[in-house]
């Protein structure tokens, strides 16, 4: 059989429950690390035959190079956002994911902070209001980051440093449920996955007999 | 430095080559050498690449252990510096400079005021009195060791090829142990209620 005729596309329905609240915005602390410090990437599940993404959730965790850890940048949530737009032509359409992160400071640390982003290809982990993490950056395409600083104008102006990142991906910023290792200490790792399942449903069937009542 | 990683590396290298975990080895190669080709080759044919992987990772272990030792010696050296600041190990003894050693011994014998000596010293049990005597000797030992440490530090200052960690380590370790013993002795001596 001609292989061209055997390919099939898996598609899924998109449901939405009436009344479900979709909280907009991103949270105030982002994490980043240079791609060169990533030893192994979590994988985006893809169809082996077509390369089509099968899930928006990355499988696994980032494994970092020895003695390397995620760094953070605090941002103003009201002025920062993560967006995604389509780019390219059929059959090479991809998503251009964009992050605008406004850091409120313009002092020494915020100024040398530009060196973290200029000429460095980074990956960013962005926490959403629903408590999940989205990933900006992958091992396929190179990202582009710019860092601007504005000291404000006059007494009523606003000073800030703005990080803008653009990164091509196959889908809008995928979800991450692995670990974020912030230091060598055991307690300094964020586990992005679901909480350990210790609800009543997962426990052994309860023994309802009360020993006091016999 | 990530000590857990160093431990993982050491455990892996200490395991017999044919019993080493391949996935663990692949990850270690990626994390330490950052060489994805070696990691891929190793995962594909671990038996063939095991000697090379072992050699490469062994180099990292050596470096990391030296780094860990350096950090440990630095930490202990800071501890000794604090002891020195409190006890003045590098200050000359007052009796020595004034030539009053004999006088000091005499004061100790006659029970007149001596720093750190209880007024009822002579009435204390022998074992408690011995703590005070022992402390005099401990202080002397600490001072002697500290003097050696100062010499090593001066040698290291003028010679960038000389790594003094190995020579410093036994000295700082001994000073810290002597200091702990001295403090414990003082506690027992001062706190003795009869």
**Is residue A198 situated within a structural domain?**
no
CA A30/CA A124 separation, integer angstroms: 7
CA atoms within 13 A on the CB side of B126: 0
**Domain carrying residue A75:** 22-193
Residue A164 lies in a domain: yes
Number of Cβ atoms within 10 Å of the Cβ of A201: 6
Q: What are the per-10-residue average pLDDT scores of chain B (194 residues)?
A: 88 92 94 93 94 93 87 90 86 58 61 68 88 89 91 81 80 93 92 82
Q: Is residue B120 in some structural domain?
A: yes
**Cβ–Cβ of A66/B27 closer than 8 Å?**
no
Count of domains observed in chain A: 1
Same domain, B121 and B180: yes
- Mean pLDDT value across residues A94-113: 95
A44-97 pLDDT, tens digit each: 999 888 889 999 999 999 999 999 999 999 999 999 999 999 999 999 999 999
Percent of chain A, pLDDT > 70? 87
Mean pLDDT of chain A: 87
Domain span including residue B167:
88-191
Which residues pair with residue A163 across a beta bridge?
A: A101, A147
**B27/A65 CB distance under 8 A:** no
Maximum CA pair distance of chain A? 80
Domain's final residue, options B21, B39, B72: B72
Which band of pLDDT confidence, cut at 50, 70 and 90, is reported for residue A11?
Answer: confident
**B117 lies in the same domain as B176:** yes
Q: Which residue has the tokens 């780019």?
A: A87
pLDDT for A203 equals 42
CB-CB: which of A39, A40, A184 is closest to B4? A184
Identify whether B81 is part of a domain: no
Contacts of B65 in chain A (CB under 8 A): none
Same structural domain, B29 and B107: no
Q: Which residue of B has its CA nearest to A182?
A: B2
| C-beta atoms of A64 and B4 within 8 A | no
CB contact under 8 A, A67 and B2: yes
User: Full-prediction pTM beyond 0.80?
Assistant: no
Separation CA A102–CA A97 (nearest Å) = 17
* Token pair belonging to B146: 């500290």
> Quick one: B49 and B93 in the same domain?
no
A125: pLDDT confidence band, cut at 50, 70 and 90? very high
**Residue A160 predicted with pLDDT over 50:** yes
Collect all residues from A whose CB is shorter than 8 A from any CB in B. Answer: 36, 39-40, 63-67, 184
Q: Where are the beta strands (DSSP E) in chain A?
A: 29-34, 38-40, 63-64, 71-74, 81-87, 94-103, 122-127, 133-136, 144-150, 160-169, 175-176, 179-181, 189-191
- Listed in sequence order, the residues at least 6 apart from B183 whose beta carbon sits closer than 8 Å to its beta carbon are none
Q: Is residue A214 part of a domain?
A: no
Query: Given this model, what pLDDT does residue B154 score?
Result: 84
Same-domain status, B41 and B103: no
Is B80 inside a domain boundary? no
Whether residues B105 and B64 share a domain: the answer is no
Residues of B in contact with A39 (CB under 8 A): 27, 30-31, 34
Q: Quick one: B94 and B164 in the same domain?
A: yes
Please, which pLDDT band fits residue A1 given cuts at 50, 70 and 90? very low
State the DSSP code for A104.
S
Which candidate from A40, A67, A184 shows the least CB-CB separation from B30?
A: A40
Question: Do the Cβ atoms of A63 and B1 come within 8 Å?
Answer: no
pLDDT at A9: 78
**Domain contains B105:** yes
Q: How many CB pairs under 8 A join A and B?
A: 28
For residues A56 and A175, the answer to whether their CB atoms sit within 8 Å is: yes
Give tens-digit pLDDT for A191-208: 877 655 444 444 444 444
Is residue A134 scored above 90 in pLDDT? yes
User: For residue A211, what pLDDT band results from cuts at 50, 70 and 90?
Assistant: very low
Does B158 lie in the same domain as B108?
Answer: yes
Cβ count near A106 (within 10 Å): 16
For chain B, the domain total comes to: 2
- Note the pLDDT of residue A200: 40
Closest CB from A39, A40, A66 relative to B2: A66
Please check whether residues B99 and B8 belong to one and the same domain. Answer: no
In-domain check, residue B78: no
The answer as to whether A55 is a domain residue is: yes
Q: Between the CA of residue A150 and those of A102, A147, B97, what are the distances in Å?
A: 11, 10, 65
pLDDT at B103: 56
């Amino acid at each position: 059989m001609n292989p061209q005729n055997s390919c099939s596309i898996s598609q899924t329905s998109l449901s939405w429950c009436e009344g479900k609240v979709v909280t907009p915005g991103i949270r105030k602390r982002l994490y980043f690390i240079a791609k060169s410090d990533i030893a192994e990437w979590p994988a985006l599940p893809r169809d082996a035959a077509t390369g089509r993404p099968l899930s928006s959730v990355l499988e696994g965790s980032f494994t970092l190079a020895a003695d390397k850890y995620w760094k953070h940048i605090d941002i103003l949530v009201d002025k920062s956002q993560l967006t995604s737009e389509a780019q390219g032509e059929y059959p090479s359409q991809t998503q251009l994911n964009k992050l605008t992160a406004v850091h409120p400071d313009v002092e020494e640390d915020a100024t040398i902070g530009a060196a973290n982003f200029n000429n460095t290809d980074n990956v960013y982990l962005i926490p959403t209001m629903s408590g999940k993490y989205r990933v900006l950056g992958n091992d396929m395409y190179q990202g582009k980051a710019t860092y601007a600083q504005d000291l404000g104008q006059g007494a009523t102006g606003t000073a800030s440093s703005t990080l803008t990142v653009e990164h091509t991906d196959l889908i809008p910023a995928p979800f991450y449920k692995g670990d974020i290792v912030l230091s060598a200490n055991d307690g300094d790792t964020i586990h992005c996955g679901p909480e350990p399942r210790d609800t009543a449903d997962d426990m052994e069937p309860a023994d309802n007999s009360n020993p006091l009542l016999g | 430095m990530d000590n857990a990683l160093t431990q993982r590396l050491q455990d892996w290298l200490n395991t017999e080559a044919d019993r080493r975990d391949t996935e663990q080895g692949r990850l270690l190669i990626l994390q330490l050498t950052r060489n994805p080709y070696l990691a891929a080759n190793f995962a594909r044919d671990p038996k063939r690449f095991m000697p090379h992987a072992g050699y490469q990772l062994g180099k990292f272990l050596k470096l990391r252990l030296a780094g860990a030792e350096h950090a440990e010696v630095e930490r202990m050296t800071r501890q000794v510096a604090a002891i020195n600041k409190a006890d003045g190990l590098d200050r000359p003894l007052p009796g020595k400079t004034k030539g009053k050693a004999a006088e000091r011994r005499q004061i100790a014998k006659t029970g007149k005021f001596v720093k750190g000596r209880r007024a009822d010293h002579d009435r204390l049990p022998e074992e408690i009195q011995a703590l005070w005597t022992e402390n005099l000797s401990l202080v002397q030992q600490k001072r002697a060791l500290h003097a050696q440490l100062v010499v090593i530090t001066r040698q290291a200052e003028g010679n960038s090829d000389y790594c003094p960690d190995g020579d410093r380590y036994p000295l700082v370790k001994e000073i810290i142990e002597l200091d702990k013993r001295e403090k414990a002795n003082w506690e027992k001596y001062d706190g003795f209620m009869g």
